[in-house]
Amino acid sequence: MNFIYAKDSGKRVKRIISKSGSSPEHSYHYHCWHETKDEKPYFAVIDKYSLILARHNKRLGYWEIENGIVTPEDKKAVVLLKFLDRVFKNKKTKKVIVETTPELRKELLWRLKRYKIGRVNYDLIWPIYHLPTWDNRLKGKKWKKVRNLINRLKSGHRIRVVNSKDIDKKKLYALLKRWIKKRNDSDRVCLHLYENIIKNNFKGMKFCRTVMVDGEPCTITAGWKIPNSNNYYSAIGIINYKYEGLGEFANVDDLRNIKKHGFEFADFGGSDGALLKFKKKFKPVKTYKTVCYSIRRK
């Protein structure tokens, strides 16, 4: 196993992701942008078809993997076990925090005999939209509330949608700062991620769109094609909450754009509580669950 610091990695890592990637967060650039003062992103290369996207907090003694096992589905448990055997050789490693499907966790419970798998700390629900059948005209009674919010916003303001790359970064940072103030603690932890994405001019993003209201940037939506699929991951959704209907407008614009470019499904990311309720406004055809838990030595 070869641990490669994200900023020192390159063609080999990208080749493995292109061959074996399958999950929304299997993204080379997105993983690189997670770096903080205490947490460093690494690619743990297992073989020519497998790697793990992991972050290491040396000060607190843990590794973290968020949907980051890049290998064929039937090998994920084995690949994770190899990773655990390696990192737990270091006595300073206290735990490995992982996010997986519930099915993979069940497999680990009977397979990983020499490690203790903790209880589920929280779960996330991921809404999926089928774009060929998604109604981008918002016709009918079921779309009335969303349609009315968008129409009221458009009737009272000058609205246009632009490429986020073309906006002054200072204005985008100001938008991000206002969004963070309105969000919960977990979003504040991820502030560095969004700052790095803006700083690096959205590198690795397939689309990055901003809704301008009366000349002011008020939203950022961005994402990329999920490897080995015709599906899209809408990973970033930031709004400044200044206007009613702004979130509805930005998400409908995002879905219309993804549909226009011929993708089959759009994944709008792991959600809980109010965020999931908001995303359900846009009529997902299905959802799936991931669970977060810790693995320790016995």
Please report the pLDDT score of residue 203 as a whole number. 95
Give residue-wise pLDDT tens across range 116-169: 999 999 999 999 999 999 999 999 999 999 999 999 999 999 999 999 999 999
Domain residue extents for the chain: 2-117, 126-288
184, pLDDT greater than 70: no
Single-letter amino acid code for the residue at 72? P
Please report the pLDDT score of residue 190 as a whole number. 79
Give residue-wise pLDDT tens across range 193-203: 999 999 999 99
Give residue-wise pLDDT tens across range 4-27: 888 777 789 999 999 999 999 999
216-246 in b/e form (b: 16+ CB < 10 A) is bbbbbbbbbbbbebebbbbbbbbbbeebebb
Give residue-wise pLDDT tens across range 250-267: 999 999 999 999 999 999
Q: How confident is the model at residue 274 (pLDDT cuts 50, 70, 90)?
A: confident
* Token representation of residue 161: 């949608």
CATH of 2-117, one of 1.10.357, 3.40.630, 3.40.1130, 3.30.70: 3.40.630
274 alpha-carbon distance from chain centroid: 17
Do 151 and 137 form a contact (C-beta atoms < 8 A)? no
Closest CA to 111 of 150, 134, 130, 84: 84
Closest CA to 58 of 87, 84, 34: 87
Please report the pLDDT score of residue 7 as a whole number. 76
Single-letter amino acid code for the residue at 71? T
pTM of the model: 0.95
The fold of the 126-288 domain, in CATH, is: Aminopeptidase (3.40.630)
